[in-house]
Structure 1
């Protein structure tokens, strides 16, 4: 049975798809090793490829049901589930050709797709959608999320990945641990070895580059902002598994504070995006007085069981 189109809200889907495709261009390039233009794609085929997958998003009732479900954490910016090969090809074509620009492609594609879908609804539904959109402070279809201050940021991410494939490949195998207190190099080594061992990844560490503290101008050896720990693995799969298991393992190690976490090693444009996401999540949490929104990779997630903020007093 085909899905009932009246159950879909084109403006909502368009907004999600528009935001999502921007974020997917962040993740796509950082985890893709190959940058190969010899796949038979041309610049003119990019809008068609994006159109097909965005239409699949719009036609899937499961996406709406999952988004509205309260039984699990809700992703504010959903994934489009494109394959790494497809995402890589799109990113490379955008970075290499830039005619039209990525902004123009996405804005035009998303706008046209959901303009056609909205025409299939009756006037009552369209009026309701327009009224809801007017009351929501949401970005235009196909535009970056409203909290992004640099409209060219996502193009920069795709371009960086296309221009620096070796760096991206190297970063795809490195896990980064943030906020781990520094006591000594021996303690760092012992703690990392313990976590890696409990992940059964002892033989997956890069023997040529042992874990190390990454110095930045913002972090110091002994401060409230300890230096990052970078942990190189021999492959991307092992790195990803380490990140996935990190929280569940470290919560049972008494010497590791609860606020220590692991993430991917990001490119400079991705880091800029991460910092903006963190500021946005911080603002959202302060607005509602709850620890409700968290960063998961390069997405904002809404917790199903939010907690009161520590600096907020409850009546």
Structure 2
């Protein structure tokens, strides 16, 4: 894992943990995870609560590298302009069987030029920024949790780096080991849907125009009301045409899309935190019917409302039901604790 000043600690430790657990659960040295900085010096993480002492410098890395990941964090923008760091990435790339990034580490990879011709995943907010730059927009997979393109493995924001690590382990050693690691970490083996389900695309507070902000607040507070263009235009004391044009200019979203975003956000929250019926969720979120609720979830998130609740609802201790289908696949924790593998 390549690190630099103001890196996010979870972007470093999160993805490395599954590789360490692969060794622990099997009792074999399948991976040799290390961290590296340009000069081998200690690196302060974003937030200042921790200093990471890397295993080695870039110059001390082995000749053959199976996987090199670039961590993300607030320091990625300075790192993307660090000539020494970018030079090392370009020098190391031919020695890497696989290369990639976690979260906004993709910004550093893109700056190095090594990913030319490949798409990358990144944090949803950074994807929004990169998509405004013509040179990068076609190369960013804005909704992917993780992405494998050729030799490059990249992940979305922060904890998605763990999803990427599990996918790499599954590719290397099969699904069962990856499932065991996911269960040991008490997490879903593979999350359903893309990262748009986690991102706040609504930006209700992002506008300085009080008329648009008033419309946004009204939509949030009255999701079941008449939200037609005519009604909202009267509420904003604007013509329908002016409201539509101004709303898009300020929010970068059409009014109809914003309303759907609000309905979707409210429905997600209800599915995550309550056991209300699907009809009640559809009604309270403003969708009206379960058919509309299902249709929007499938189109926007790629999952059904019931599957979303199974994965993220607070009443479900184990979201990935496939993990529990066969008792023979469960880890023998006593053997694990004693240093023996059941895999």
TM-score (norm 2): 0.26
Q: Which one scores higher on RCO, CA 8 angstroms, separation ≥ 6?
A: 1
> Rg larger in 1 or in 2?
2
